Structure 1
Amino acid sequence: MNPNDEDFERVVSGLLEKNVSDISDTEDRFLHDTHCLESDHDTASELCDTENQDPALVSDSDDEPLINLTSNRQYFLGKKVGNKQQFKWYKDPFRSSVRTPRHNIVEVQRPIGTRDCTEKIDFWNILFSEDILHIIVLHSNRKLEDMRQKYKREERPELKNIDITELCALIGCLLYTAIFKSNKEYIASLFATDGKGREIFRCVFSQKRFLMLLTVLRFDDPTTREERKKTDPATHVSELYDIFISNCQKYYTPGPHMCIDEMLVRCRCRCKILMYMPKKPGKYGIKVMCMTDASNNYLYNAYIYCGKDTDGQGLTDEEKEFSKPTQSILRLTKPIQNTNRNITGDNWFTSIEAVDLLKKNGLTYVGTMNKIKREIPTDFLPKRSRLVGETLYGFTKEMTMVLYVPKRNKAVVLLSSMHHDKCNDEEGEKSDIILFYNSTKNGVDGLDKMCKNARNIDTYTFLSEIADELCKPHMLRRYNNPNISRDVRASIKRILKIEDTDPGPQTSEKLAIRGTCTICPA
């Protein structure tokens, strides 16, 4: 055929289209390992669909039909940011097998749940172990020794050393203040004897002893505190907190689905780690990053957020190079690495970087994505033309992105490394990714709600029984003390339901005959 023939260009274009359609799919799937477009070619056709393309951006060169055919028909491209390569999402899934992927199979070596617990007090004993109580007793007694130096009579009963039994009773009384919603009540009113006080407090402690114990309660060694504060702003409670978290992990086997999020413990004390979060109900408090079991809100791992650069504590220098949300994920998920469990998080945590790292650590991830992420194609952004309930998918070999339109002009984008196909519910309205996210996203929020809702009948009963068991040994010890008043002994006897066969400590009913002095008449 003569190259100058007018049909020559048409025939060559047809051959090119046939060849390109045969090889484009295999070439594109070969490039999926990097999740982005390998070519540095910068054209407008890689940014948007050809149907909506601005005519001013269309090139008149002979290569334009080939570029348009290979760049937009089978995949979406992420946003173009500087010289960075655009992220590529395929329209069709890679996996066609109906078998469950290996990374979604969680092998649990022992039953899910808490072991060795038959009574409610057993939960307390395994979480707040004797190691924690011994540390508190040790440092509190050191403070009591310093306090005794300020008084002329050092043997005063409120200045004696504390032991584990009395410490448990003190914690029980603090639980009672939460149950009665009296944690901000004037202490003198709690110990009032005019009918306005709480009888249980007078049965456990005297008012002076209770105030003294609250004053001297210490959780760390003050002599080394300043040195430790240079690396750990929360050093006052870090040792006890680490033991508590270790106990949470030691005696519980989590389920296959975990949830990570932040929780604000409401507090308005004066400390450097106090946070202001205007969107939280309490607004002020201590921020705690948590990982919980999504099925029952059990706290499995957590750390106190103390400000900038504290998310990476305990990580390697290489891991500290990642973004702050990724550092937080790595720190929280260390205890469950290589278990094939799934992590659910919100858009603050979600990133391609974090999902790739979790994949290497034997974990999957499901979470919402912030729409400013450069990996999200423009096709996944909100548009007025989208119908309510519309769903759009994008795939790589390891991840799936889904767009869902809950209402007009709104769009929710989720990322999952657990799901790899287009699956909707029975009605065909919502994707399985969205349904799974909705069922596992409230793990930390549920824990936060349980901590604040002591008025719930189940929470009230649970805390009451634990407080009763904590106070009972010390109350029994006070009952056998001959120096307490009769009304307190009678109250303890009634509360503990002590039988009359146990008369308690015996006191002499007869008074000695008083003699007369030389001044008084005989």
Structure 2
Amino acid sequence: MSEQKKRKVETSNDPNVWLKWYHELSDESDLSESSKDEDESDKEEENILTESEHNTESEQEVAESEEVESDEDVPLDSSSFYIGKDKITKWRKANPPRNVKTRSHNIIIHLPGPKGKAREVKTEVADLELFLDDNILKTITACTNIYIEKTRQEFTRGRDARSTDEIEIRAFIGLLFLIGTMRCSRKNIYLLWDNSKGNGIESCYLTMSEQRFRFLLRCLRFDNINDRNMRKELDKMAAIREVFELFTNNFEKYFSPSEYLTIDEQLLAFRGRAAFRQYISNKPSKYGIKTFALVDAKTAYTMKLETYVGLQPPGPYQQSNNAKDIVMRMVEPVQGTNRNITGDNWFTSIPLVNELLTEKKLTYVGTLRKNKREIPKEFLPQKDRDKFTSIFGFQENCTIVSYCLQKNKAVLAVSTMHHDSAISEDTGEYQKPDIITFYNSTKIGVDLVDQICQKK
């Protein structure tokens, strides 16, 4: 505060002057939020299992130990605004009417669907080859042969440990797909190749021998085993990094997503040894490799994947595991396109949604945790609040809503795509806000991918 303002504060007794100065200081304040980095420093051996702390319960409940803030803490001018718990953030109680029907950040100019070479694809095999392309197959073949060379001395007959090639690797991957599709992945390999009584799978024993399949299954590698230990000093994902990035980079090459996308965690089933293996109780597989996925909410097409490995060693692969930073990295394939991102309360914060809109040209809809300092106390769960009621707060490009579905509980949500207090007509007596119904309809993108993978 300037010296002139300090002197005026000391001498003025006019309440209106005090109120004017309060608003000037509020407007000048910097809106920021410090969120805890939820990454776990995974420095144990590779067989250590960690449990995910990704808790995304949407309904916020009144806690007996919580104290309601005194009315004395609420600023004098509360007739037109709600004031956040931080005493800085203001939300208008009513959104002023606008002449513009559709805001610019809600106008989509990119058509969804296949693009590039994908538009010329006619068969499923050709489609798969766009993603498992020649670069990936060459890398897998070369790395597998390096490992075969190291193990060849264990075999008395050289032909039992002969090198492989891209054609055989294609056939091997095809058999893995076939075995998985037929839900035979947990059967004994001997039974899959047993054709004496007609119990085996014909495509298996006609493609290669059981012995060769076992050999390739043992020797399959995705990196150069000779320098892996050196690379692991900088990267926990060293064993799969190159192939993983080649594969995921192909996602955005061949498809343009719809206007609605979902960001969420995903668990890839895995019970092997890995320092970053996770346990997530609410996932179908429960044990596996945790990834963050950006998925088209309409088609369940995955646009981007990022593997969670915990705390990386210092170096080029070290990055923040803060929820806001994860989202900013994940949306890079669609930044600047005016699309909408839907996320749960683990990802969502007021600074995030504002930064996505201003820097990435993306809108966001998501649920909020009640501990966010920008949320007014009126929006928190109240014991005396009626069911099926909504409270809205508005800023220039941001709207928050508190919806009471049952006593003592409320769902808090924020949107930079919605700018009114509309109630969905399809929800009947529940009187759900459009923000809530939109969130419910678009949050399922990653769950759809999980369901598809479980069915295959």
Superposition TM-score tier, normalisation by shorter sequence = 0.7 to 0.9
Shifted more, 186-195 versus 127-136: the winner is 186-195
Q: Which residue of 1 aligns with 2:193?
A: 191
> For the Cα contact (< 8 Å) 1:94–1:395, is it kept in 2?
no
How far the C-alpha of 1:276 sits from its partner, in A, is: 1.6
CA distance in 1, matches of 2:364, 2:24: 23
Q: Classify the secondary structure of the residue corresponding to 1:450.
A: helix
CA distance in 2, matches of 1:118, 1:212: 34
> For the Cα contact (< 8 Å) 2:93–2:393, is it kept in 1?
yes
Structure 1 residues 29, 440: closer, same or farther in 2, change over 3 A?
farther
What are the within-5 Å matches in structure 2 for residues 73-88 of structure 1?
73-80=79-86, 85-88=87-90
Q: Which residue of 1 aligns with 2:389?
A: 390
CA distance in 2, matches of 1:166, 1:94: 66
Q: What code does the residue aligned with 1:258 have?
A: L
> For the Cα contact (< 8 Å) 2:112–2:258, is it kept in 1?
no
How far the C-alpha of 1:109 sits from its partner, in A, is: 6.3
Q: Classify the secondary structure of the residue corresponding to 2:264.
A: strand
Shifted more, 442-451 versus 403-412: the winner is 403-412
Q: Classify the secondary structure of the residue corresponding to 1:301.
A: strand
CA distance in 1, matches of 2:105, 2:186: 50
Relative to the length of structure 2, the TM-score reads 0.80
Tell me which of 147, 152, 156 is aligned to 1:152: 156
How far the C-alpha of 1:36 sits from its partner, in A, is: 6.0
CA distance in 2, matches of 1:295, 1:425: 20
Q: Which residue of 1 aligns with 2:175?
A: 173
> For the Cα contact (< 8 Å) 1:342–1:418, is it kept in 2?
yes
> For the Cα contact (< 8 Å) 1:405–1:411, is it kept in 2?
yes
CA distance in 2, matches of 1:29, 1:97: 28
Name whichever structure is richer in helix by fraction.
1
CA distance in 1, matches of 2:379, 2:111: 41
Tell me which of 326, 343, 347 is aligned to 1:349: 347
Q: What code does the residue aligned with 1:73 have?
A: S
1:284 pairs with 2:287: yes
> For the Cα contact (< 8 Å) 2:234–2:316, is it kept in 1?
no
Tell me which of 192, 206, 210 is aligned to 2:209: 206
> For the Cα contact (< 8 Å) 1:219–1:236, is it kept in 2?
yes
Q: Bigger radius of gyration, 1 or 2?
A: 1
CA distance in 1, matches of 2:292, 2:360: 20
Q: Classify the secondary structure of the residue corresponding to 2:263.
A: strand
Q: What code does the residue aligned with 2:127 have?
A: F
> For the Cα contact (< 8 Å) 1:112–1:255, is it kept in 2?
no
Tell me which of 128, 147, 154 is aligned to 1:124: 128
CA distance in 1, matches of 2:29, 2:114: 37
CA distance in 2, matches of 1:120, 1:231: 38
> For the Cα contact (< 8 Å) 2:26–2:88, is it kept in 1?
no
Structure 1 residues 95, 420: closer, same or farther in 2, change over 3 A?
farther
Tell me which of 164, 170, 173 is aligned to 1:162: 164
Percent pairwise identity = 34
Name whichever structure is richer in strand by fraction.
2
> For the Cα contact (< 8 Å) 2:145–2:164, is it kept in 1?
yes
1:330 pairs with 2:328: yes
Q: Which residue of 2 aligns with 1:434?
A: 436
Q: How many residues are aligned here?
A: 400
Q: Classify the secondary structure of the residue corresponding to 1:258.
A: strand
Q: What code does the residue aligned with 1:179 have?
A: T
Q: What code does the residue aligned with 1:381 have?
A: L
> For the Cα contact (< 8 Å) 1:265–1:286, is it kept in 2?
yes
Q: Classify the secondary structure of the residue corresponding to 2:85.
A: coil
How far the C-alpha of 1:286 sits from its partner, in A, is: 0.5
Residue deviations 1:233-265 (CA, integer Å, cap 9, x gap) = 111111111111111110111111111000011
Q: Which residue of 2 aligns with 1:399?
A: 398
How far the C-alpha of 1:222 sits from its partner, in A, is: 1.3
Q: Classify the secondary structure of the residue corresponding to 1:143.
A: helix
Q: What code does the residue aligned with 1:308 have?
A: L
> For the Cα contact (< 8 Å) 2:354–2:398, is it kept in 1?
no
Structure 1 residues 205, 53: closer, same or farther in 2, change over 3 A?
closer
1:376 pairs with 2:375: yes
CA distance in 2, matches of 1:214, 1:112: 34
Residue deviations 1:68-113 (CA, integer Å, cap 9, x gap) = 3x2x211112224xxxx53221111245234211111122167566
Q: What code does the residue aligned with 1:134 have?
A: K
Tell me which of 240, 243, 248 is aligned to 1:240: 243
Structure 1 residues 121, 443: closer, same or farther in 2, change over 3 A?
same
- Structure with more contact order per residue of length (Cα contacts < 8 Å, sep ≥ 6): 2
Q: Which residue of 2 aligns with 1:6?
A: none
How far the C-alpha of 1:375 sits from its partner, in A, is: 1.4
Structure 1 residues 286, 242: closer, same or farther in 2, change over 3 A?
same
> For the Cα contact (< 8 Å) 1:32–1:397, is it kept in 2?
no
Q: Which residue of 1 aligns with 2:52?
A: none
Q: Classify the secondary structure of the residue corresponding to 2:353.
A: helix
Q: What code does the residue aligned with 1:340 have?
A: N
Q: Classify the secondary structure of the residue corresponding to 1:405.
A: strand
What are the within-5 Å matches in structure 2 for residues 13-52 of structure 1?
none
Relative to the length of structure 1, the TM-score reads 0.71
Tell me which of 107, 110, 124 is aligned to 2:109: 107
Q: Which residue of 2 aligns with 1:443?
A: 445
1:253 pairs with 2:256: yes
Uncovered stretches (5+) of structure 1, i.e. residues with no partner? 1-12, 38-51, 59-63, 455-522
Tell me which of 304, 309, 332 is aligned to 2:307: 304
How far the C-alpha of 1:30 sits from its partner, in A, is: 10
